[in-house]
Structure 1
Amino acid sequence: MISDHHTNNKKLNTMHNAKNRDNTDYETIFLNKKIITPEDVMKIRMPTRNYLCPMEANVFGIDFTRFQIREIPSNRVIFQINKSFWREHEFSKDASLLLPNGSENNVQLSHLADYTSQQRSIKYRFRPDFLKLKTIGTTVEFTVGNHEIQDFRMIEHHFFRDTLIKSFDFDFGFCIPNTVNTCEHIYEMPKMTHHQIRDMVKNPYETKSDSYYFVNGNLFMHNKAEYAFDLDT
């Protein structure tokens, strides 16, 4: 059974170029908490050094199986990968992976020791003109375990070095047990100056993101990504 959730970006929260004015080490504080909430992670203004929850916290059986990025409004697919492709290849840590089907970008897997455990960290390489896009749509496909999920939510922070570029807050909606679900989130890309784009291109993998996933307001999954914008045209 397939349950399709339509695009939902009603909780978009933009913090363009917000400086880290709060020096409180929230990460250390939250690592000692039994329950981490959306309000907690919204206080974090720098990339985390650690994961705020263990992989075992994903008791809901949620597994991401496909990911795609398309440019809006042209509908041009600029990146796509799925779990079956990962399974067909052997990777070492940080092994470069050239995507099939003429994809314009590639990806590096930096944590794939046990695929049945949730993959937690990934590295993307894009062309520099990716930073000039105005709007993109990211489609994720994921499976759900034996229990329904009432309130599935993602908060995602994007950083360049220690500066928060933009923050997103999305709802996935209600999920039926034992289903395959698809959901597209619309990202309004931050407006970058020429100097910002130049710095991000010249400093690969210093652009990072933390993705936090919640069910009923409790953190159960934390993934990380790093980005380079240095692919040749």
Structure 2
Amino acid sequence: MASTAVSSTNKAKQATNNATTDGTPITEEELKQKGTPITVDDIFRLQKSTNGYLTETDDNVYKIDFVHFRIRDMKTNKVLFEVQRECDEDEAMDNDDPSAGRFVQYHFPPSFLKLKQVGALVGFKVGNREVKSFRMIERHFFRDQLIKSFDFDFGFCPPNTTNSIEHIYDMPDIDSKQMKEMINHPNETKSDSFYFVDNQLIMHKKATYAFDLDYSQ
């Protein structure tokens, strides 16, 4: 079946805990024991980055498959990171690895922390079920201190389509002391990306960041 290409640009909304109905802190372990689906409100109650994953791979009943990812500096249009794959052929090979396809280790130059705005383009395929109210909450931490939280709405995605959307991030203001700490301690800067359909968590991806690249030639 032929795919329909759907594309758009999405400006981030800064997500805050004020959007939740219950601000009581909750732990990763408590969420894993939760008897009902994990919601956006639950995620806002987390106080630090997770150690593991809050979803299983088969929770993604919509067969959403990310196939393209690119980060660029919005001021210069310079591409800072890009990866693209043809299909989902690697999933079966990594069934014994719980982080397969769900974890990325980024390396950027220290100057990345001084950028004002970046664009993160994602391309993804949808299976044979329509996806209503597709939403991502992304939370960035340094040593369990929340740096910034983002809220992106993908909207409606028809079944059997290939979609692309660019999220525009307004980068957080980081003082020189914390910036130095983040540079000197690679991979202690982390992010959790939580994906929801109809306010039910279906995917969880994680990343770490090292600001150790030298782009000078």
The alignment's TM-score, normalised by the length of structure 1, stands at 0.80
* 2:33 maps to 1:52: no
Match of 1:2 among 4, 9, 15: 4
Q: Residue 14 of structure 2 corresponds to which residue in structure 1?
A: 12
Q: Is the 8 A contact 2:26 2:45 kept in 1?
A: no
Change (3 A) 1:39 1:14: closer
CA offset digits 1:161-206 (Å, max 9, x no partner) = 1100000010011101101100010100001111111111100000
Match of 2:72 among 70, 73, 84: 70
Quick one: distance in 2 between partners of 1:72 and 1:132? 13
Q: Residue 63 of structure 2 corresponds to which residue in structure 1?
A: 61
Match of 2:94 among 101, 110, 113: 113
Q: Is the 8 A contact 1:8 1:171 kept in 2?
A: yes
Please tell me the root mean square deviation across aligned C-alpha atoms, in Å.
2.4
Q: Is the 8 A contact 2:105 2:208 kept in 1?
A: yes
Quick one: distance in 2 between partners of 1:46 and 1:229? 21
Q: Is the 8 A contact 1:3 1:175 kept in 2?
A: no
Change (3 A) 1:14 1:126: farther
Q: Percent same amino acid among aligned pairs?
A: 47
Q: Is the 8 A contact 1:55 1:118 kept in 2?
A: no
Change (3 A) 1:53 1:160: same
Where in structure 2 are there 5+ consecutive unaligned residues?
Answer: 18-22
Q: Residue 30 of structure 2 corresponds to which residue in structure 1?
A: 29
Paired residue secondary structure (1:158): strand
Quick one: distance in 2 between partners of 1:153 and 1:80? 22
Paired residue secondary structure (1:192): coil
Quick one: distance in 1 between partners of 2:162 and 2:25? 40
Q: Quote how far apart the aligned CAs of 1:113 are.
A: 2.2
Q: Is the 8 A contact 2:6 2:161 kept in 1?
A: no
Q: Quote how far apart the aligned CAs of 1:32 are.
A: 1.1
Q: Residue 118 of structure 2 corresponds to which residue in structure 1?
A: 136
Change (3 A) 1:202 1:118: closer
What amino acid is the match of 1:30? L
Quick one: distance in 2 between partners of 1:124 and 1:42? 24
Q: Is the 8 A contact 1:159 1:208 kept in 2?
A: yes
Q: Is the 8 A contact 1:200 1:229 kept in 2?
A: yes
Quick one: distance in 1 between partners of 2:16 and 2:78? 25
Quick one: distance in 2 between partners of 1:172 and 1:31? 26
The alignment's TM-score, normalised by the length of structure 2, stands at 0.86
Paired residue secondary structure (1:56): helix
Q: Is the 8 A contact 2:105 2:207 kept in 1?
A: yes
Q: Residue 200 of structure 1 corresponds to which residue in structure 2?
A: 182
